[in-house]
Amino acid sequence: MVRCSVYSFAVFCFASAMSAYADGQSAFTSESRWNVEVSKHWDVLGPFPIQAREQHFISPSFPLNLSEPIDLDKTWPSSYANGGRVTWSFAILEDNGELEISFPDIRWESLRATEGWAALQHHAVLRSTLTVHPPLNPSKSTPVPRLLVQLIQGSYFTILPKSGRREPRWYSGNIYAMERALPQEVPLPTTPSNDSATQYDIFLSGDYEIRLFGDPHSQGRKIPVQSISISVKFDDALASVVRESTQDVVCNFVDSFAFGDAIGIGLRSVHGWWTVTNVSTDPSSGLFLTLVRPTRIVEGQTRIVPVRITQTRPFSQASIDLKLTLTSGASEIVTIESLPVDQLSGWTESVYSPIKGTYFYARSMPTVFTALPPRYSGPPKPPILALHGAGVDIVEQPFWADALPRNSYSWFVIPTGRTSWGLDWHGPSTKDAWASLYALATILAANRAWLPWKLDQNIPVIVLGHSNGGQGAWYVASRYPDRVLGIIPAAAYIKSQSYVPLTLSRSARFIDPILLSILETSLTPDNNDLFLTNLVDTPVLAVHGGNDDNVPVWHSRESAGILENWNPAANVAYREDAGQGHWYSTVFNNTQVTAFIDDLIASYPAAIISSSKFMLTVSIPAESGSLHGWRIVALTIPGRLGRLRVERASDLAVRVYTSNLQRFSVDTTIYNTSNVYIDNSKVYIDKDKAGIIHFEAVEPKVWKTSTQSGTQLSGRMQTVLSSNGPLVLVIPDDTDTYRQEFSVAQRIAHDLGLYHRLDTEIIRSSEASDAEFLSQGNIVAIGNEASASFVVNEKIPFEAKTSQHLISYEPQQPLDGPEIGLLFLHSHPLKVDGNMVMMQSTDAAGLERVARLFPIRTGILVPDWLIVGPLADSQGAGGVISAGLWGSDWSWNDPMSWTS
* Closest CA relative to residue 754, chosen from 426, 392, 468, 420: 420
Look up the domain containing 623 and give its range: 613-635+639-706
Q: What mean pLDDT is predicted for residues 782-805?
A: 65
Query: Residues near 321 by Cβ (< 8 Å), separated by ≥ 6?
Result: 281, 282, 285, 336, 337, 338
Structure confidence at residue 791 (pLDDT): 66
| pLDDT, greater one: 137 or 333 | 333
Structure confidence at residue 803 (pLDDT): 40
Cα–Cα distance for residue pair 258/314, rounded to 1 Å:
9
Q: What's the gap between Cα 449 and its chain centre?
A: 37
Q: What mean pLDDT is predicted for residues 690-710?
A: 91
Buried/exposed 305-336: b ≥16 CB within 10 Å, e otherwise: bbbbbebeeebeeeebebebebebeebbbbbe
CA distances from 294 to 300, 359, 793, 830 (A): 18, 18, 31, 21
Cα–Cα distance for residue pair 492/498, rounded to 1 Å:
11
Structure confidence at residue 18 (pLDDT): 39
Identify the CATH number of the domain in which residue 516 sits: 3.40.50.1820
Q: Are residues 539 and 453 part of one domain?
A: yes
β-bridge partners, 158? 203
Cα–Cα distance for residue pair 597/595, rounded to 1 Å:
5
pLDDT at 5 over 50: no
- How does DSSP classify residue 431? H
100 in any annotated domain = yes
Structure confidence at residue 13 (pLDDT): 37
Look up the pTM and report it. 0.94
Query: Residues near 688 by Cβ (< 8 Å), separated by ≥ 6?
Result: none
Structure confidence at residue 795 (pLDDT): 54
465 in any annotated domain = yes
Q: What mean pLDDT is predicted for residues 94-103?
A: 97
| pLDDT, greater one: 36 or 900 | 36
Task: State the average pLDDT for the chain.
Answer: 92
The enclosing H or E element of 801 equals: strand 798-801
At 211 the three-state DSSP class reads helix
Phi and psi torsions of 417, nearest 5°: 70, 20
pLDDT at 3 over 50: no
Q: What mean pLDDT is predicted for residues 41-49?
A: 98
Q: What mean pLDDT is predicted for residues 4-19?
A: 34
Cα–Cα distance for residue pair 410/444, rounded to 1 Å:
13
Q: Are residues 481 and 377 part of one domain?
A: yes
25 in any annotated domain = no
Q: Are residues 325 and 184 part of one domain?
A: no
Q: Are residues 524 and 379 part of one domain?
A: yes
Query: Which of 296, 319, 344 is the last residue in one of the domains?
Result: 344
Structure confidence at residue 804 (pLDDT): 42
Are 708 and 696 spatial neighbours (Cβ–Cβ below 8 Å)? Answer: yes
Q: Are residues 540 and 402 part of one domain?
A: yes
Cα–Cα distance for residue pair 368/345, rounded to 1 Å:
19
Cα–Cα distance for residue pair 59/81, rounded to 1 Å:
21
pLDDT at 592 over 80: yes
The pLDDT-based confidence of 2 (bands split at 50, 70, 90) is: very low
Cα–Cα distance for residue pair 711/748, rounded to 1 Å:
27
pLDDT at 651 over 50: yes
Q: Are residues 621 and 508 part of one domain?
A: no
The pLDDT-based confidence of 141 (bands split at 50, 70, 90) is: low
**pLDDT tens-digit readout, 265-292:** 999 999 999 999 999 999 999 999 999 9
Q: Are residues 489 and 385 part of one domain?
A: yes
Structure confidence at residue 793 (pLDDT): 53
Identify the CATH number of the domain in which residue 725 sits: 3.30.379
* Closest CA relative to residue 240, chosen from 206, 275, 290, 279: 275
Structure confidence at residue 806 (pLDDT): 45
Where are any strands of DSSP class E within 154-311?
156-161, 171-172, 184-186, 198-208, 226-234, 241-243, 253-254, 257-258, 262-269, 274-280, 287-291, 295-297, 302-311
Are 527 and 424 spatial neighbours (Cβ–Cβ below 8 Å)? Answer: no
Cα–Cα distance for residue pair 635/652, rounded to 1 Å:
28
Q: Are residues 872 and 739 part of one domain?
A: yes
Query: Which of 706, 730, 755 is the last residue in one of the domains?
Result: 706
8: left (phi over 0), alpha (psi -120 to 50) or beta: alpha
Buried/exposed 426-449: b ≥16 CB within 10 Å, e otherwise: bbbbbbbbbbbbebbbebbeebee
Query: Which of 706, 734, 764 is the last residue in one of the domains?
Result: 706
651 in any annotated domain = yes
Structure confidence at residue 709 (pLDDT): 82
Q: What is the DSSP string of 380-414?
A: ----EEEEPPTT--TTT--HHHHTSPPPSS--EEE
Structure confidence at residue 95 (pLDDT): 96
**pLDDT tens-digit readout, 17-29:** 333 333 333 334 4
pLDDT at 88 over 60: yes
Q: Are residues 205 and 244 part of one domain?
A: no
pLDDT at 799 over 70: no
712 in any annotated domain = no
Cα–Cα distance for residue pair 226/228, rounded to 1 Å:
6
Q: What mean pLDDT is predicted for residues 125-132?
A: 98
Q: What percent of the chain has pLDDT over 70?
A: 93
Q: What mean pLDDT is predicted for residues 242-270?
A: 98
201 in any annotated domain = yes
Cα–Cα distance for residue pair 658/656, rounded to 1 Å:
7
Read off the amino acid at residue 510: F
1 in any annotated domain = no
Structure confidence at residue 729 (pLDDT): 97
β-bridge partners, 703? 697
Are 645 and 656 spatial neighbours (Cβ–Cβ below 8 Å)? Answer: yes
| pLDDT, greater one: 459 or 27 | 459
Q: What is the DSSP string of 835-851?
A: EEEEEEESSHHHHHHHH
Q: Are residues 436 and 302 part of one domain?
A: no
* Closest CA relative to residue 614, chosen from 647, 583, 585: 647
Q: Are residues 729 and 700 part of one domain?
A: no
Cα–Cα distance for residue pair 186/773, rounded to 1 Å:
27
Count of domains observed in the chain: 5
Structure confidence at residue 292 (pLDDT): 97
pLDDT at 306 over 50: yes
Q: What mean pLDDT is predicted for residues 416-440?
A: 98
Identify the CATH number of the domain in which residue 277 sits: 2.60.40.10
Q: Are residues 216 and 246 part of one domain?
A: no
283 in any annotated domain = yes
Structure confidence at residue 772 (pLDDT): 87
Beta pairing class for 156-161 and 198-208: antiparallel
